[in-house]
Structure 1
Amino acid sequence: MAILRSTSTQSTQSLNRLWAVVSLTGLSWLATTLPAMAHHPFGGKAPTNFVEGFLSGLGHPVIGLDHFIFVIAIGLIAARQARGIFVVAAFLLTAMLGTSLHLASVNLPASELVIAGSVVAFGAMLLFEKNLNLLMMVQLGAIAGLFHGYAYGEAVIGAEMAPILSYLAGFTLIQFGIAAVAQQIGRAILQRTPGQPTAIRFSGLAICAAGLVFLTTSLVG
């Protein structure tokens, strides 16, 4: 039995190290490619119909790596909360509100800096074992969603109502999917290794590193 427990522990440690290396290398590499990548699947052209709006909504949070990495972070954080789905829900709802504010010509200053800062902040939260309380996490998720959604609004300025609505549906659906997958991966890691697993900590480090690249890019851009 002792041998079996030792083998299981070694296996868990190996998986944690593998996840750590993959997340740190992958996210850092993605972040360094940011200046060369577009934030919109249609190259900045506003969608003209329902299908284009939906596809644009699906693509924007994936091609926009600052958004993509943040959604991974919020999914991993949700995995550590008993009711983490409320953090994700707050982010998704206020993201739609943020897009609406942009379309209504309401200005949210320094949005790119806040978005980059949100990546750094949520990555940093994954470095520590102690969680913030749920209400505070919901509030932070909501603030982040407002600014991420505001950035999404740029892609549909001038579009008709049908593509705007499908765009909102598209980016909400894809972000929910990404966050849900990250949450399930986080829970699987936490079930294998109680406390603050190395894999989660290194994921947070990788997310922080990516966020610092985004922040630097925003400051010098």
Structure 2
Amino acid sequence: MTKIKHFNFFKLLPRYTSVAALIGVGCLIAQKPAYAHHSMGGNVPSNFFEGFLSGLAHPLIGLDHFAFVIAIGLLAVGQVQGALIPAGFVLAAMVGTGIHLLSVDLPVAEIIIAVSAIAFGAMLVKQNKPNWILQMVLGAIAGLFHGYAYGEAIIGAGMTELFAYLLGFTLIQYGVAFAAFRFGSAATQKFNTQRLSFLQLAGLVISSIGVVFLASSIS
């Protein structure tokens, strides 16, 4: 006689409650949009040290930027050429800053930044991800807009301060992406579940942050 398997809703409830809580936290901490992040209290850096500190802080104090950098690091997990994905992003971000300083307009930059967080979070959720070349290209395109937003904080600074700023935000972004890659690699070995892996949970949170920033940018 064939046994009928009963669906145990209460067994799955804690797992999905945790997912909902993570997404909720992501939405709550993303309530304040990051239109122009200034780590120097709104002042333009006036020396190498201030420029470097501003560059280090800028990608961290903007949650939309920070979430994207984590996403691009996590996407490198398990890929042979994974290190090139965040590398393409940080190099393009420098170009994006240069575009801003040349007074070339990149329209709807904040909207594109939010959409990039949603898209890369969604790629983490998907089982079948695009190949690393496409991910690197998409990351580079996003990097232009992220870098363009970074450029707002350095307008009017001298070449020394500009060099320090670019050095700071390049180092911190690749450092955060690399840390996310290492942590994600370890976490996927320990915390994967049958239904939702660690990377998928992270993708849901990152996408939820992007949705909140997108709504704020549009409104």
- TM-score normalised by structure 2 residue count: 0.85
1:85 matched to 2:58? The reply is no
Q: Partner amino acid for 1:98?
A: G
Task: State the shift of 1:195 in Å.
Answer: 8.7
Structure 2 residue corresponding to 1:152, chosen from 150, 153, 160: 150
Matches for 1:106-185 after TM superposition, within 5 Å: 106-185=104-183
What does the per-residue CA deviation read over 1:4-37, in whole Å, with 9 as the maximum and x for residues that have no partner? Answer: xxxxxxxxxxxx99995785454333212x2499
Cα distance change, pair 118–195 in 1 and its aligned pair in 2 (3 A) = farther
* Whole-Å separation in 1 of the counterparts to 2:215 and 2:19: 24
Cα distance change, pair 36–182 in 1 and its aligned pair in 2 (3 A) = closer
Percent sequence identity is 50
Structure 2 residue corresponding to 1:188, chosen from 178, 181, 186: 186
Structure 1 residue corresponding to 2:43, chosen from 36, 42, 45: 45
Structure with bigger gyration radius = 2
Cα distance change, pair 181–23 in 1 and its aligned pair in 2 (3 A) = farther
Aligned residue-pair number: 205
Query: How large is the RMSD of aligned CA atoms in angstroms?
Result: 2.4
Task: State the shift of 1:190 in Å.
Answer: 2.3
Residue 60 of structure 2 aligns with which residue?
A: 62
Is this contact kept in 2: 1:95–1:145, CA < 8 A? yes
Is this contact kept in 2: 1:49–1:162, CA < 8 A? yes
Residue 206 of structure 2 aligns with which residue?
A: 207
Is this contact kept in 2: 1:20–1:200, CA < 8 A? no
Is this contact kept in 1: 2:34–2:62, CA < 8 A? no
- TM-score normalised by structure 1 residue count: 0.85
- Name structure 2 gaps, 5 residues minimum: 1-14
Is this contact kept in 1: 2:119–2:207, CA < 8 A? yes
- Name structure 1 gaps, 5 residues minimum: 1-15
* Whole-Å separation in 2 of the counterparts to 1:137 and 1:127: 14
Is this contact kept in 2: 1:189–1:197, CA < 8 A? no
* Secondary structure, aligned partner of 2:166: helix
Residue 99 of structure 1 aligns with which residue?
A: 97
